Amino acid sequence: MSWRLLDDVDKAILYALQQDARNATTREIGDQVGVTASTVSNRIAELKDDGIITNYLATLDYSRAGFPMHVLIHCDVPVHDREAIAHRTLDIPGVVNVRELMSGTDNIRIEAVGETRDDITGIVSALSEEGVQTTDEILIQNQHFRPLSSLEPEGED
Protein backbone atom coordinates (compact mmCIF):
# COMPACT_ATOMS: atom_id res chain seq x y z
CA MET A 1 0.00 0.00 0.00
CA SER A 2 1.41 3.35 -1.04
CA TRP A 3 1.70 6.29 1.32
CA ARG A 4 1.65 10.04 1.40
CA LEU A 5 1.58 12.43 4.29
CA LEU A 6 -1.21 14.99 3.96
CA ASP A 7 -0.51 18.61 4.80
CA ASP A 8 -3.07 21.30 5.54
CA VAL A 9 -3.53 22.08 1.86
CA ASP A 10 -4.29 18.46 1.00
CA LYS A 11 -6.69 18.15 3.90
CA ALA A 12 -8.56 21.32 2.97
CA ILE A 13 -8.87 20.05 -0.58
CA LEU A 14 -10.19 16.66 0.44
CA TYR A 15 -12.60 18.20 2.90
CA ALA A 16 -13.96 20.64 0.34
CA LEU A 17 -14.33 17.95 -2.30
CA GLN A 18 -16.16 15.70 0.14
CA GLN A 19 -18.57 18.55 0.81
CA ASP A 20 -19.26 19.56 -2.76
CA ALA A 21 -17.08 17.92 -5.37
CA ARG A 22 -18.73 19.74 -8.25
CA ASN A 23 -18.95 23.31 -7.05
CA ALA A 24 -15.89 23.69 -4.85
CA THR A 25 -13.61 25.92 -6.89
CA THR A 26 -9.84 25.79 -6.72
CA ARG A 27 -9.77 29.44 -5.70
CA GLU A 28 -12.19 29.02 -2.81
CA ILE A 29 -10.19 26.15 -1.46
CA GLY A 30 -6.91 27.99 -1.93
CA ASP A 31 -8.18 31.07 -0.10
CA GLN A 32 -9.02 28.99 2.94
CA VAL A 33 -5.45 27.85 3.38
CA GLY A 34 -3.52 30.66 1.76
CA VAL A 35 -2.32 29.15 -1.52
CA THR A 36 -3.19 30.01 -5.09
CA ALA A 37 -5.77 28.29 -7.24
CA SER A 38 -2.94 26.88 -9.37
CA THR A 39 -1.46 25.11 -6.39
CA VAL A 40 -4.80 23.63 -5.51
CA SER A 41 -5.23 22.49 -9.09
CA ASN A 42 -1.82 20.79 -9.06
CA ARG A 43 -2.50 19.15 -5.72
CA ILE A 44 -5.86 17.80 -6.82
CA ALA A 45 -4.16 16.19 -9.81
CA GLU A 46 -1.55 14.65 -7.48
CA LEU A 47 -4.14 13.36 -5.07
CA LYS A 48 -5.97 11.75 -7.96
CA ASP A 49 -2.75 10.23 -9.33
CA ASP A 50 -1.82 8.90 -5.91
CA GLY A 51 -5.16 7.15 -5.73
CA ILE A 52 -6.24 9.09 -2.66
CA ILE A 53 -9.13 10.64 -4.53
CA THR A 54 -10.78 7.70 -6.26
CA ASN A 55 -13.86 9.25 -7.77
CA TYR A 56 -16.25 12.17 -7.90
CA LEU A 57 -19.85 11.14 -7.79
CA ALA A 58 -23.31 12.56 -7.44
CA THR A 59 -25.42 10.93 -4.77
CA LEU A 60 -29.05 10.56 -5.72
CA ASP A 61 -32.30 10.15 -3.90
CA TYR A 62 -33.33 7.10 -5.87
CA SER A 63 -36.92 7.15 -4.66
CA ARG A 64 -37.44 10.66 -5.97
CA ALA A 65 -35.76 9.62 -9.20
CA GLY A 66 -38.40 6.97 -9.71
CA PHE A 67 -36.55 3.97 -8.28
CA PRO A 68 -38.29 3.22 -5.01
CA MET A 69 -36.71 -0.19 -4.51
CA HIS A 70 -33.42 0.54 -2.79
CA VAL A 71 -31.94 -2.42 -0.99
CA LEU A 72 -28.92 -3.78 0.79
CA ILE A 73 -28.04 -7.35 -0.09
CA HIS A 74 -25.82 -9.48 2.14
CA CYS A 75 -23.68 -11.98 0.28
CA ASP A 76 -21.53 -14.85 1.40
CA VAL A 77 -18.64 -15.80 -0.88
CA PRO A 78 -15.42 -17.79 -0.47
CA VAL A 79 -12.72 -15.49 0.90
CA HIS A 80 -10.24 -16.13 -1.89
CA ASP A 81 -12.83 -15.21 -4.55
CA ARG A 82 -14.13 -12.19 -2.75
CA GLU A 83 -12.36 -9.47 -4.68
CA ALA A 84 -12.97 -11.00 -8.11
CA ILE A 85 -16.63 -11.62 -7.37
CA ALA A 86 -17.09 -8.15 -5.91
CA HIS A 87 -15.87 -6.67 -9.17
CA ARG A 88 -18.13 -8.83 -11.27
CA THR A 89 -21.22 -7.97 -9.24
CA LEU A 90 -20.61 -4.32 -10.09
CA ASP A 91 -21.62 -5.06 -13.65
CA ILE A 92 -25.04 -6.38 -12.74
CA PRO A 93 -27.59 -3.75 -13.80
CA GLY A 94 -28.99 -2.00 -10.74
CA VAL A 95 -25.94 -2.49 -8.53
CA VAL A 96 -24.61 0.88 -7.41
CA ASN A 97 -22.24 0.07 -4.55
CA VAL A 98 -20.26 -2.94 -3.37
CA ARG A 99 -18.38 -3.25 -0.11
CA GLU A 100 -15.86 -6.02 0.52
CA LEU A 101 -15.66 -6.86 4.20
CA MET A 102 -12.98 -8.65 6.23
CA SER A 103 -15.48 -11.02 7.68
CA GLY A 104 -15.84 -14.78 7.78
CA THR A 105 -19.46 -14.60 6.68
CA ASP A 106 -21.58 -12.02 4.86
CA ASN A 107 -18.37 -10.63 3.43
CA ILE A 108 -19.86 -8.72 0.49
CA ARG A 109 -22.56 -6.08 0.82
CA ILE A 110 -24.31 -4.89 -2.29
CA GLU A 111 -26.41 -1.75 -2.61
CA ALA A 112 -28.87 -2.11 -5.45
CA VAL A 113 -31.67 -0.06 -6.95
CA GLY A 114 -34.75 -0.84 -9.00
CA GLU A 115 -38.17 0.36 -10.03
CA THR A 116 -40.04 -2.72 -8.92
CA ARG A 117 -39.65 -5.71 -6.66
CA ASP A 118 -39.08 -7.78 -9.79
CA ASP A 119 -36.00 -5.72 -10.56
CA ILE A 120 -34.53 -6.69 -7.20
CA THR A 121 -35.50 -10.30 -7.68
CA GLY A 122 -33.68 -10.19 -10.98
CA ILE A 123 -30.55 -8.86 -9.32
CA VAL A 124 -30.62 -11.59 -6.73
CA SER A 125 -31.05 -14.15 -9.52
CA ALA A 126 -28.09 -12.69 -11.38
CA LEU A 127 -26.04 -12.97 -8.20
CA SER A 128 -27.10 -16.55 -7.79
CA GLU A 129 -26.04 -17.31 -11.35
CA GLU A 130 -22.63 -15.87 -10.55
CA GLY A 131 -22.38 -18.35 -7.71
CA VAL A 132 -22.99 -15.71 -5.08
CA GLN A 133 -25.05 -16.82 -2.14
CA THR A 134 -27.31 -14.06 -0.79
CA THR A 135 -28.12 -14.35 2.87
CA ASP A 136 -30.18 -11.25 3.53
CA GLU A 137 -32.00 -8.44 1.72
CA ILE A 138 -33.02 -5.28 3.51
CA LEU A 139 -34.78 -2.13 2.33
CA ILE A 140 -32.69 1.01 2.70
CA GLN A 141 -34.78 3.81 4.17
CA ASN A 142 -32.24 6.56 3.88
CA GLN A 143 -28.56 7.22 3.54
CA HIS A 144 -26.35 10.15 4.54
CA PHE A 145 -22.76 11.10 3.88
CA ARG A 146 -20.37 13.32 5.84
CA PRO A 147 -16.89 14.55 5.04
CA LEU A 148 -14.24 13.01 7.26
CA SER A 149 -14.00 15.43 10.18
CA SER A 150 -10.25 14.93 10.60
CA LEU A 151 -9.80 16.70 7.28
CA GLU A 152 -11.64 19.84 8.35
CA PRO A 153 -9.49 22.99 8.38
CA GLU A 154 -8.99 24.57 11.84
CA GLY A 155 -9.62 28.18 10.83
CA GLU A 156 -6.75 29.80 9.01
CA ASP A 157 -6.08 32.91 6.95
Partner DNA sequence: TTTGAAATATGCAAAAT
Partner DNA sequence: ATTTTGCATATTTCAAA
**Nearest-approach distance from CB 151 to a second copy, in angstroms:** 8
Work out which of 20, 21, 27, 79 binds DNA, going by CB under 7 A. 27
Show the binding pattern over residues 130-149: x = contacts a second copy (CB under 8 A), - = does not.
--------xxxxxxxxxxxx
How far apart are the C-alpha atoms of 121 and 104, rounded to whole Å? 25
Q: Which of residues 91-120 bind a second copy (CB under 8 A)?
A: 91, 93-103, 109, 113, 115
* Exposed/middle/buried for residue 33 (C-beta within 10 Å: 0-12, 13-18, 19+): buried
- Which does residue 61 touch among DNA, a second copy, none (CB within 5 to 8 A, set by kind)? a second copy
Cβ-based nearer residue to DNA, 9 or 95? 9
How far apart are the C-alpha atoms of 74 and 1, rounded to whole Å? 28
- 84 is a site residue for a second copy (CB under 8 A): no
E strand or H helix at 126, and its extent?
helix 117-129
Segment 20-27 long-range contacts (CB within 8 Å, at least 24 positions apart):
21/56, 21/57, 22/56, 22/58
Residues binding DNA (CB under 7 A) = 9, 25-28, 30, 34-39, 41-45
